[in-house]
Amino acid sequence: MDFGDATVIRDLSFDVRAGETFGFLGSNGSGKTTTLRALLGIYQPTAGTLHIGGKPFEPSDGARLGYLPEERGLYKKEPVLDVMVYFGRLKGLGKAQAKAWSLDYLERVQLADKAAANLDKLSGGQQQKIQLGVTIMNAPELLILDEPTKGFDPVNRRLLMDIIEEQKLAGATVIMVTHQMEEVERLCDRVILLKDGTSRAYGTVEEVQEQFGGTVYRVGYDGVLPHSTLYDIALDSGGYAELAPRPGAGQAAVLRELVTAGAGVSSFTTARVSLDEIFIRVYGEQDQPAEVRP
Amino acid sequence: MSTAPSRSASTPPIPARRPAVRWHNLGTVVGFEFFRTTKKPRFWIATLAIPVVTAIVFALIFVSNSSTSASADAQKNAALSFTYTDASGIIPEAAGRAAGGSKAANPEQALADVKAGTVDAYFAYPANPAAEPVQVYGADRGVFANGTYEAVAKQLLMLAAQADIGSPQLTAAASGNIKVDTETYRDGQASGGFGAAVPPLMFLVLFYVMIILLSNQMLNSTLEEKENRVTEMILTTLNPTTLIIGKIISLLLVGLVQISVFLAPVVIGFAFFRDRLSLPDIDLSDVVFEPGPLMVGALLLLGGFLLFTAVLGAIGAVMPNAKEAGVVFGPLMALIFVPFYAISLILSDPRSPIVQVFTYFPLSAPVTAMLRNGFGTLSPAESIIVIAELFIVGVLTLRLSVHLFRYGSIQYTGKLSLAKTLRRRPRESAGK
C-alpha cells in the first residue's frame, strides 16, 4: 500500500479464521488502520484484496459486515433512534425490526432516554455506544473494530467488552485493533503485531509470547546485575530486572550465574512474557514512525 | 479469510439480501434524506416565510385596493373645476364646459385663482400644441392624484381632434391607441407567438428557483458525511453511487415541496382574488402549450439540474468544509446568470459566436438553451445536442463526484488532491 512515494504496508498477508477474535496490534502509525481501510476498499490498495469465504469482498455484495472505524461519527444533527433505524435499514433490517432492536440496545446501554435526542447532545462516550450499536445491529458475520474502547471509562469499557464477547460467542469473526493488552489477553485467539507496515509477530497469544522468549525470569537484587551469555536483560530498573533466557539456559543455570556474580538476589520467579512487555520490546527499539495519510 | 456461514445471536435474524437491495437502499436514502430535511422546523420556517410574506402583501393590496376603489368612486363623482386659455383656438368651448371647465380671460388671474384655491386647475394651451407644451397649474393633491390634471388636459385635446376629424376611429388611429393581433407561421403551421414562449420559459424559472433554493444543500450533500466523520460507516454499508443518487432525488423532492408551497398563495390569489389584488389580467387562452418546446424545456431542466447537482456534489467531496467550499461555490453560481449579459443577442442573434459558446458550454448551456427554446430559436438539432451534452456531462460528473466521494471524503481535514485521487484505479483492476 503506497501513499505517494511512501510505502505504508509491505507484503502483509494474514488469515483470520471463522469465529475467532483476531488482535491487530501496533503502535501509532504502524499501519493498522490503513490496512483495515485498504481491506475494506476505503483506500484503494496498490495491490491486494480482502477475501471473505474465498471471494473478494465488496461492500455492497451482501456480506454482513460490521465496521467500527477509528474516526467515529454519525449524523450529529439527527435523533439517535432515526440514525440507528436508518443504518439498520441499510443493513437489511425492516423498519419495525430496526426500531425494536435499537430500543432494546438503547435500554441495555442505559441510553433509552436519549432515543429522541440529537446525537450532538450526547457525550463522546455515549455517541460511541450508539456507534457500536449501529455496527452490530445486523448481527455481522465479520466484525471489525478499530480501537473500540478508545475514550471509554472503565465501567463502560467493561460493558463494551461484554458486548463484543457476546458477538464472539454468537459466532462472529472479530478483528480488533487495540492498544489495550488486557483486552487482547481477554478476548483474542490470535494476534498480529505490525511495525512500519510489516508483520513482526503473528499467531496465537501463546505462540507470540514464545516468539519473544516465552518465559521471563523476574529477579529482585541489591548488587550489580551481571551481563551473561545465558540471558538478555529485557528490563532493568535497579533492584528489579526481567531476564529473557537464551535457548538452553535453564532456571537453575541462570540463578547460579547471578549468585556467582554477586548480584545479591532477593527474589527469583518465572513468568511468561506479557504482551505489554513484548509491545514495549518491539516498539521501544526506535522512534515511532510518523502517521502517514494519503 | 473465511467466516462462519451462519450464527445465532441475540441480535435479530437478518433476511437474506435481496437482489433488489440497491433499490431498497436507494429508497431508504431518499426517505431518510427527504424526511430529515422536511421534519426540521427551520425548513418550514424558511419555506413558509415566502408565502406568508406574499400573503401579507396580497392582504395589504386587497385592503388598499378596497379603500382606493372607494376613494376613486368618490373622486369620480366629484367634478374637477378648472379654467383654461386656448391660444391655438382648437378646443371646442362645449367640450370644455362638458368637462367642467370654463374659458379664462386673463391667464394671471386664472393662475391666481388656482393659488387661492378657488379653482382646482388652470390649463394654458399654446398656439401650437404639437410643438409647445401645454402648461398645467393645479392645486396639489398628491403625486398620483395630480396626474388627473394632465389626463383632463389631454382629453380636451383628444375631443378637439375628434371634433375636427369627425371620426372616433381615425382619432384613435391618429393617437396610436389601437390593438394589433399578430399571427405568425412556422413550417406552414401557425406559431403561438409570445403565448407559446411562456410555458417553456417556466422551466427556466423552475431551474433558477431550484438552483437558488437547493444549491447550498447540494453542496453540503457530500460535505456532510465528511464533516460528520460518517464516511467510513457509509462506504462499508452501501454503494456511494446509491447514496449520492438518493441525495439528488431527495433534493429534487424537497425542491418540489418548496416550489409548491411558494406557488400556493399566488395560484389561490390568481384564481379567486385576481381583481382585488391587482394581479395582471393574464388571458390564459393566449397561452399556447406546444409539446415540442415543452419536452425540450423539461429535458433541459432535468439535464441542467443533474449537471449542477453533480458539480456541487463533486466540490463537496473535494473540499474539507463548507467554508472552503464556499470559495468555489460563488463563482459557479455566477455562471448561471452569465447568459443574461448577452440576453439581447440571445433573443435577436442566436447565431452570434457568443450565443453559440453559451449554448454549448455545459455550465451556461441550461439557461441559454432554455431561453432560446422559449423564444423559438433553438433548432431541433441544437436541442438534441444540448440535451445529450447535459446528460452525458452530468452523468460523467456524477461518476466523478462518486469517485471523489469514495476516495476523497475519507480525507477529513485537508483539501483533496484531484490528481492523486483520479490516479486510483477501479477496485476490479487492482492487483491481487
Which of A23-37, A201-215, B265-279 has the lowest average pLDDT? B265-279
Range in A55-64, B59-68, B317-326 the model is least confident about: A55-64
For B271-287, what is the mean pLDDT? 66
Higher pLDDT, A145 or B146: A145
CATH number, position B158: 3.40.190.10
Question: Which residues of chain A does B411 touch, with a Cβ-Cβ cutoff of 8 Å?
Answer: 293-294
Considering only CB atoms, A47 lies closest to which of B2, B15, B431, namely B431
pLDDT the model gives residue B21: 56
pLDDT at B264 over 90: no
Contacts 24+ apart (CB under 8 A), A91-95: A91/A64, A91/A137, A91/A138, A91/B14, A91/B237, A92/A64, A92/A138, A92/B14, A92/B15, A92/B17, A92/B21, A93/A137, A93/A138, A93/B12, A93/B14, A94/B15
Question: In this structure, are residues A134 and A87 in contact, taking their beta carbons and an 8 Å threshold?
Answer: yes
B259 and B368 assigned to the same domain: yes
pLDDT of residue B227: 76
Say if the Cβ atoms of A18 and B232 lie within 8 Å. no
B403 Cβ contact partners less than 8 Å away, ≥ 6 residues apart: B421, B422, B424
Region B7-13 average pLDDT: 43
Percent of chain A with pLDDT over 90: 16
Q: Is residue B157 part of a domain?
A: yes
pLDDT for residue B171: 81
Domain boundary among B119, B143, B172: B172
* Same domain, yes or no: B138 and B216: no
Q: Report the residue of B18, B21, B237, B241 to disrupt the A interface, i.e. the one with the largest count of A CBs within 10 Å.
A: B237
Q: How confident is the model at residue A208 (pLDDT cuts 50, 70, 90)?
A: confident
Please state the ipTM of this predicted complex.
0.73
Same domain, B250 and B392: yes
- Alpha carbon of B192: minimum distance to chain A alpha carbons (Å): 50
Query: Edge-to-edge strand order for the sheet containing A240-245?
Result: A231-236, A240-245, A215-221, A265-272
Query: Over 70: is that where the pLDDT of B241 sits?
Result: yes
Question: pLDDT class for B15, splitting at 50, 70, 90?
Answer: very low
Banded pLDDT at B431 (limits 50, 70, 90): very low
Q: What is the pLDDT of residue A232?
A: 85
In this model, does residue A263 exceed pLDDT 50?
yes
- Condensed to tens digits (0 to 9), the pLDDT of residues A148-183 reads 888 788 888 888 888 888 888 888 889 988 888 878
**Burial label, B428 (beta-carbon count in 10 A; 0-12, 13-18, 19+):** exposed
pLDDT at B393: 95
pLDDT at residue B37 is higher than 70: yes
With CA atoms as reference, the chain B residue closest to A62 would be B17
* 3-class DSSP state of A121: helix
User: Is the predicted pLDDT of residue B210 greater than 90, yes or no?
Assistant: no
Structural domain span for residue B163: 79-172
Residue where a domain stops, chosen among B143, B172, B201: B172
- Give pLDDT, residue A125: 85
B412 within 8 A of A71, measured Cβ to Cβ: yes
Residue B234's pLDDT band, with cuts at 50, 70 and 90, is confident
pLDDT digits 0-9 by tens, B151-166: 888 888 888 888 888 8
CATH of region A2-208: 3.40.50.300
The domain locations on chain A are 2-208, 215-272
Q: Say what the pLDDT of residue B220 is.
A: 77
* Cβ of residue A227 closer than 8 Å to a chain B Cβ: no
Q: Name the most confidently modeled range: A40-44, A109-113, A286-290.
A: A109-113
pLDDT value for A292: 37
State the Cα torsion A155-B13-A127-B25 to the nearest 10°.
170
Per-residue pLDDT band for A286 (boundaries 50, 70, 90) equals: very low
Inter-chain touch B432–A48, beta carbons under 8 Å: yes
Is pLDDT above 70 for B427?
Answer: no
| B204 in the same domain as B160 | no
Contacts of A87 (CB under 8 A, 6+ apart): A98, A134, A137, B233, B237
B199 phi/psi in degrees, rounded to 5: -60, -45
Q: Inform me whether the C-beta atom of residue A4 falls under 8 Å from chain B C-beta atoms.
A: yes
User: Are B159 and B131 contained in the same domain?
Assistant: yes
Interface of B with A in 219-238 (CB under 8 A): 224, 228-233, 235-238
**Residue B318: which pLDDT band, with cuts at 50, 70 and 90?**
confident
Q: Average the pLDDT over each of B39-48, B147-156, B190-199 and give the range with the smallest value.
A: B190-199
Q: What pLDDT digit, counting tens, does each position of B174-184 carry? A: 777 777 777 77
* Mean predicted confidence (pLDDT) in B252-279: 78
DSSP B157-214: HHHHHHHHH--HHHHHHHHT-------EEETTEEE-THHHHHHHHHHHHHHHHHHHHH
Lowest mean pLDDT among B152-166, B255-269, B401-415: B401-415
**A2 Cβ under 8 Å from any chain B Cβ:** no
Return the pLDDT at A281: 74
Least confident of A244-248, A267-271, B268-272, B354-358: B268-272
> B164 and B198 in one domain?
no
Is the pLDDT at A63 greater than 60? The verdict is no
**Domain shared by B145 and B206, yes or no:** no
Phi first, then psi, for residue B137 (nearest 5°) are: -125, 130
Domain assignment present for residue B400? The answer is: yes
The whole-number pLDDT of residue B72 equals 56
- The distance of A11 to chain B (nearest Cα, Å) reads 12
Residue B68's DSSP bridge partners are: none
Whether B407 has its CB under 8 Å from any CB of chain A: the answer is yes
Give residue B409's pLDDT. 63
Q: What is the pLDDT of residue A169?
A: 87
- Residues paired with residue A273 on neighbouring β-strands, in sequence order: none
Nearest C-alpha in A relative to B30? A86
Per the domain annotation, does B53 fall within a domain? no
Q: What percent of chain B has pLDDT over 70?
A: 81
Check whether A85 has a pLDDT greater than 90: yes
Same domain, B130 and B198: no
Task: Answer yes or no: is pLDDT of A115 > 90.
Answer: yes
Q: Which of B6, B228, B235 sits opposite A42 (nearest CB)?
A: B235
Same domain, B207 and B157: no
d(CA B427, CA B432): 10
Q: Which pLDDT score, from 0 to 100, does residue A289 have? A: 39
Q: Which residue of A has its CA nearest to B413?
A: A293
Query: Where residue B390 falls among pLDDT bands split at 50, 70, 90?
Result: very high
pLDDT at A235 over 60: yes
Q: Please give the tally of structural domains in chain B.
A: 2
Between chains, do B427 and A71 touch, taking CB under 8 Å as contact? no
Distance from CA of A104 to the nearest CA of B (A): 10
B90 and B201 share a domain? no
Same structural domain, B398 and B292: yes
Mean pLDDT of chain B: 79
- Among B85-94, B128-137, B161-170, the range scoring the smallest mean pLDDT is B161-170
Tell whether B280 and B315 lie within a shared domain: yes
Of all residues in chain A, the percent with pLDDT exceeding 70 is 92
| A-B Cβ pairs (cutoff 8 Å, strict) | 156
Position A294 scores a pLDDT of 39
In this structure, is residue B358 part of a structural domain? yes
Q: Would you call A74 an interface residue with chain B, using a CB distance cutoff of 8 Å?
A: yes
